[in-house]
Amino acid sequence: MTSKRRIGDREVYPVGLGCMNITHAYGPPMDETEAKALLVRALDIGYDFLDTATLYGFGRSEELIGEALKDRRDSYFLASKCVLGFKDGQRTLDARPETIKAACDASLKRLQTDVIDLYYMHRPDPNVPIEDSVGALSELVAAGKIRMIGLSEMGAADLRRAHAVHPIAAMQSEYSLWVRNPEIAIKAACEELGVALVAFSPVGRGFLADPPVDPAKFHESDLRGSIFPRFDPENYAANLPLLDEARACAAEVGCTVAQLALAWTMAKGDNILPIPGTTSLQHLEENWGAGQIELSDDMVARLDASFLPEKAVGPRYSPMGQSVVTTEMYPFERDQA
């Protein structure tokens, strides 16, 4: 059995389950009966770290977790997020202390639980000092409503400012062979401060699969067709040759390309936990199996070289998407924006 990894004072299986796309982002929501069955199956397989957010499905992802798993609450580590919320069917960004506290109460109700193990600021709010927001989160810790504080899509400077107010247990950042921005600064800052690095989209939003996703088949509601420029037809075609070496490496290891991508992410640091999302029971099991794969140092170095950051074509976010994060960018991303 693969060793568990630490988030704060808890240990979890190194591959978690991201619960965004059961309700949100990559097309129509799952059938809710099937979504609940997938959540139950995840715990049955051995997943013990579930990651959701207020925003996902405008609260419906949290509700599905509560409805499906309320009787098994002690068997998994639960993370959710605030700051990105919703009002009247529209997305909001608000990190004021009173908003964070109200959002937590609403999430607890939807999740049908008394405590959230890890509660993240989903995004920085440029209108609210991060110290004020983390102060509110620390009060939620004192009140027993959350156990740990996390941040998402923020840079090293924000992490240090937040950590000075209250220990930060986890930073959630997009990290994969295809998106290596954490290597600019946040990965080292997490290692220095003892913070877990939770890697979202570790399979490149479906790019690091075999076969990879086909943008021509995206549903009109799929965000990959609008705010992620690497999925633009011209950029995507230019990125596809990157998969040739990934397929060769996966064949040598004896795993799928997606499992290789997850194993690589975990090999980049003992504090890194990928949280792939899926709507497929087959992929759910494949992703969990990646936690059993250990790559050699030579294989990691080979993949590092094959997926040098500057080989990716296109910035990871559109200007709108980039405007609400403080994660560090590579110079080439600014040039391509």
Please give the chain's pLDDT, 337 residues, in tens: 468 999 999 999 999 999 999 998 999 999 999 999 999 999 999 999 999 999 999 999 999 999 999 999 999 999 999 999 998 888 999 999 999 999 999 999 999 999 999 999 999 999 999 999 999 999 999 999 999 999 999 999 999 999 999 999 999 999 999 999 999 999 999 999 999 999 999 999 999 999 999 999 999 999 999 899 999 999 999 999 999 999 999 999 999 999 999 999 999 999 999 999 999 999 999 999 999 999 999 999 999 999 999 999 999 999 999 999 999 999 888 877 6
pTM: predicted TM-score of the whole model, two decimal places? 0.97
Q: Buried (b) or exposed (e) across 126-160, using 16+ Cβ within 10 A?
A: eebebeebbebbebbbeeebbbbbbbbbbbbebbe
Query: Domains plus CATH for the chain?
Result: 5-336 (3.20.20.100)
Catalytic residue among 13, 47, 56, 236: 56
Distance in angstroms (rounded) separating the CA atoms of residues 6 and 264: 18
Q: Is 119 a catalytic residue?
A: no
The DSSP bridge pattern shows strands 170-174 and 146-152 to be parallel
> CA separation (Å) from 31 to 34, 35, 56, 286?
5, 6, 15, 21
- In degrees and rounded to multiples of 5, residue 223 shows phi and psi of -65, -20
Amino acid at 86: F
Provide the β-strand partners of residue 5: 12
> Does residue 175 sit in helix, strand or coil?
coil
